[in-house]
Each structure stands twice: as structure tokens, then as C-alpha cells.
Amino acid sequence: MTANFFKNLKTYSATALFVILTACASSPRHVGPADGVKVGDGSSLKNMVPASQLEQSATKQYNSMKQKASQKNALAPENHPQVIRLRAIAKKILPHAYAWNPDSQAWKWEINLFVSDEVNAFCMPGGKIAFYTGILEKLKLNDDEVATVMGHEIAHALREHARDRIAKAQIGNLGANVLSSALGLGNVGSQALGQGLQILGLSFSRADEKDADLVGMDIAARAGYDPRAGVSLWQKMGQLSQDKDKQPEWLSTHPSGDSRIYEIQRNMMDALILYARAKNTTIDRLPNYKP
């Protein structure tokens, strides 16, 4: 009887996994505002990971990062010109982010600047944004380019790519132990978070990066930032990464600049319509973009 039980359980687990993966497969349905850039619904696997727990874990890690930076005098003060600049840009962008994820309106958004030569920026689940001085200074970013980076990182959080990556990683481990997988399937996200998962260590897929590029371009354009800055940004990134020994860590998890520029240009018209509307003009009257 015991042997039959485990045999049936194994069959049940395989069937259940197939049903879950089928039900959670990506849908072509468009989400977000009716106008602007078009992206798919994405995977529903993220629903296996508790959003509240992930956001709590992200907040804890973000606060720890701030505390350590402060102890080393590496957390820029509130009156730092670049902090003021970043928060002003975020203030314009965020109202246009909520349509992509209604829950994000209740997030405790926060943006800080860390003093580091590293070319990096991120937005953790729950709206915890960080920029490093390296990305601002080494690339000499103008406001449109800063908004492009910020929109991209915010889009990762809005689209809950971290939840999705955690869920997929745990799904991949289901076959390791049929019994525990079958009994603990609904708690895979809690298990990962309970083990002290380092959210900043997650790497996103190329599909995630493309998604974040397009959604980020959309919300930045609605806020009045020129989407053509995406092209100049990745050209600057390309120049910086020519020396492989000095390639920024931020680029190591991102697709090549050429492919990014191609996708940005392919969707540029939709974003330019939003940008022109934000500027109370029409596309044909927009001035040429100057990086």
C-alpha cells in the first residue's frame, strides 16, 4: 500500500505541475494603459510567491544596505544636489507607474543615492530605489537618461519580475523531492524568502529586461521625459563596456546595447506620442533630441 501511495503521489505531482505550468503560462493579453507601449501579461507563476513577504524581505535588505552605507559615509545626505534631482524626477514618474500595477500606489516608495564608483541602479520589490554615483558621473546622464534608467528599474518592480524569478527557480526544484514538493507546493515562495534570499542577487531574463525597457520608456514618456534618451543611454553604455575589464556589473545581467536600441527604436513611435502629449505638442513639432 505504501508503494502504491508514493507511486500515485508521484503521478499526481507530475500532473499537478503540468496543470500549474499550463495555467500560469504567459498570456498575450495586453496589460497597462490602453494607449502607449504594448507588452504582454507576463507569467502568473509569480502568484505562487507571497508579495507581502517579498516586499518585507526587500525592505529589510534595503534598510540594511542604507545602514551599512551610512556607517561608511557612503549614503548621500538629503540635501545632496543629486538626491534632490533624483527625487524630483521620481516624483514626476511615479504617478504614471500605478496604472501598470495598482498595488504599487500603496508601496512606501523611497529613493536614495549611494556613493560608489559602481555603474548601477535598481528598484527592489515594494518601491525601494537606489542609484549609485558611478552611473550618474561616469555616464554624465542628463535628466532624460536618468528617467530612462529609473523607469526601467521601476518597471522591474511594477511587473514583479523578482517574484516571477523566485517562483520559477522553486518550480525547477520540484523534482528533487516528490513528497515535499507535493505537500509544500503552495509555499515555495515562503521557503525561498525564509532562507534569506538575496533579492539583489537575482538576475532577470532577456524577456524581463525587454519588458522593463518598454514599460520604463512608457512611464518616463508620460512624465515628460524624452524616450529618445534610451538610444543615447545605451550608446554611452556601449562605449563604457568596450573595455571588458571595466565592464559595469549592471551590464553583466543586461542584453547587449545593440539589441536594446533596436527594441527601443521599434517601439519609439508609441512612446513619442505620449511624450508629445506630455509636452502639449505633436510629434512633428518635437525638437531634435540632443544628448
Active site residues: 153
CA distance 247 to 238: 9
Q: Is 37 exposed, middle or buried (0-12, 13-18, 19+ CB in 10 A)?
A: buried
Instruction: Name residue, grid cell 502629449.
Output: 277
Count of beta carbons in the 10 Å neighbourhood of residue 249: 9
Q: Which three cell numbers stand for residue 195?
A: 532562507
Q: What distance in Å separates the CA atoms of residue 87 and residue 89, rounded to the nearest whole number?
A: 5
The answer to whether the beta carbons of residues 189 and 51 sit under 8 Å apart is no
Identify the DSSP state of 27: B
> Whose CA is closest to 117, among 137, 89, 102?
137
